[in-house]
Structure 1
Amino acid sequence: MPARAEASFAAAVLGRVAEQVTCRYAGASRFARGFVRGKLRGDPATATILRLAAAAPFGSVVDLGCGRGQLGLALLLTGLADQLTGLDRDATKISEAAAAAVGLPACFAVADLTTAPVPDCDTLLIIDVLLQMPEAAQRALLGRMVAAARRRILIRAFDPDCGWRAQVGFAMERLGRRVRRDGVEIRPLPLPLLQSHLTAAGFAVRVVPCWAGTPLPNVLLIAERPPA
């Protein structure tokens, strides 16, 4: 299939999945529904992760920092995951996720990822969350992640050494802190350090760009255990 046709096909598939998932948030606010639809249609991580799952279904999934849970629900509704557990510190988002997941094999819970146990799973997702934690907490969580994931770990990370993209990313984060006034400062670990934690635990790791359509230095670390 030509590249342009493949891109159009992928966009159409994402559009259908986004609408199917968004319909489950009928009881949430207009903002929440718009956020869910926008993340599923426009975030490069969604398309990349769905393609990976289509090639090798994810089985039982744990989504750390799941927010409103839309990515995990997309995996369930497309038959690319069997079971979902979502953890996040935001109780309002967890409530919205739980309401959207009624009737599906999913559970959501409020949790502080700096200390919370990580449930055993086949596939572990952590998207744009690790870098928001203190460095020591990131290292500790990585240890719990590699112990819990039987097959694979997917981390969407910020590459602090990615040239002009990293400069733009840090500048946008500084601006975001001024607007939010929440004091949250990102502390992205260098990719070689992230990789070393995963390879030391027996995972084979590859890194793919995950910034399509944005100036950000986002990458996806795909860590998989070799077949037994």
Structure 2
Amino acid sequence: MPDGASPPLSEKRLIEAVAARYAGASRFTRGYVGSKLRRDPSTAALLALAQREGGLGQVADLGCGRGQLALALLLSGAASGVVGLDYEEAKVAEARAAGAGLAARFIRADLTAARVPDCDTALMVDVLYQLPEAAQAPLLDRVAAAARRRVVLRLFDPGRGWRSTLGMAMERAGRAIRRDGAAVRPMPVAEVSARLAGAGFTSEVTPCWAGTPLPNVLLVAERAA
């Protein structure tokens, strides 16, 4: 480490630093942000990926929610800047407030039609399967066109046996409680990989469900040199 350089934050200190930026948010949001970053295995997976790759550069976080993952990437040095898009205005407002003073922009957008910002890394965590089936492939095409270096997706894998069966049951129950009439039709992971391959990316898929019974996988697609 060069003389005078600050050591990287530990994951615990990083989560504390991100959570502190939501001090003015609702009690629910304050609890949610820290819990989500601690418990969701995508946090550690993305920080590890950034360390291996020497950073993710400019990141487009699609379906960013309250922005806590985008801010964790920024505060850890894993991203040089982020643009977050989400449909829910209340969450976008909380993300904007938390990201004040950082190289972060948060925009309300409908991902079924929105332009994907040009970026080094396009990121979608638990987003694709939430969209109507007809919107999934067109969004992937827009993501592939916008990402200069890589696409990183946390996907619901419908081909993981009992995990997928349980995950589908949980998702349907949740939608029934929320009275969300949308059908749950996640795109097969092989189909996602093939679509990205057609755009010049090579994909690697690894489990991303540590500590949970869900069928979540991390797909990292790198653009060919």
For 1:28 and 1:142, locate their aligned partners in 2 and report how far apart those are by CA, in whole Å. 33
CA contact (8 A) 2:155 2:218 kept: yes
Equivalent residues in 2 for 1:93-112 (5 A)? Answer: 93-112=91-110
1:1-228 residue pairs with structure 2 within 5 A? 13-56=10-53, 57-226=55-224, 228=225
Moved more, 145-154 or 130-139: 130-139
C-alpha distance in structure 2 between counterparts of 1:68 and 1:102, whole Å = 13
Deviates more, 1:210-219 or 1:132-141: 132-141
1:129 maps to a residue whose letter is V
Once the two structures are superposed, residues 56-79 of structure 1 have per-residue CA deviations (whole angstroms, 9 ceiling, x without a partner) of: 200100000000011110010011
Q: Deviation per CA, 1:4-52: give whole Å up to 9, x if none.
A: xxxxxxxx93221111100000110110011110111110111000100
Q: What is the CA–CA distance in structure 2 between the aligned matches of 1:41 and 1:184, rounded to whole Å? A: 29
Contact 2:132/2:182, CA 8 A, preserved across alignment: no
SS in 1 for 2:111: coil
Would you say the 8 A contact 2:129–2:136 is kept in 1? yes
Aligned counterparts of 1:190 and 1:31: Cα–Cα separation in 2: 34
Is there any run of 5+ residues in structure 2 with no aligned partner, and where? Answer: 1-8
Under a length normalisation based on structure 2, what TM-score does the superposition of the two structures give?
Answer: 0.93
Q: 1:198 to 1:46 in 2, by over 3 A?
A: same
**Cα distance in 2 between the residues matched to 1:221 and 1:26:** 33
Is the 1:127–1:157 Cα contact (8 Å) retained in structure 2?
yes
Q: Which moved more, 1:65-74 or 1:12-21?
A: 12-21
- The answer to whether the 8 A contact 1:21-1:73 is kept is yes
Which residue identity is paired with 1:21?
Answer: V
Aligned-partner Cα distance in 2 for 1:203–1:178: 37
Q: Distance in 2 between matches of 1:161 and 1:37?
A: 31
Contact 1:89 1:113 in 2 (8 A): yes
Q: Is the 8 A contact 1:65 1:129 kept in 2?
A: yes
- TM-score normalised according to structure 1 size: 0.92
Give distance in 1, aligned partners of 2:126 and 2:203: 18
| Deviates most, 84-93 or 132-141 | 132-141
- Give the Cα–Cα distance (whole angstroms) in 1 for the partners of residues 56 and 107 of structure 2: 20
Aligned mates of 1:162, 1:145 — CA distance in 2: 25
RMSD: 1.1
Which stretch shifts more, 183-192 or 133-142?
183-192
Which structure 1 residue ranges, 5 or more long, are not aligned? Answer: 1-11
Identity of aligned residues (%): 59
Report how many residues are paired: 216
Shift of 1:187: 1.6
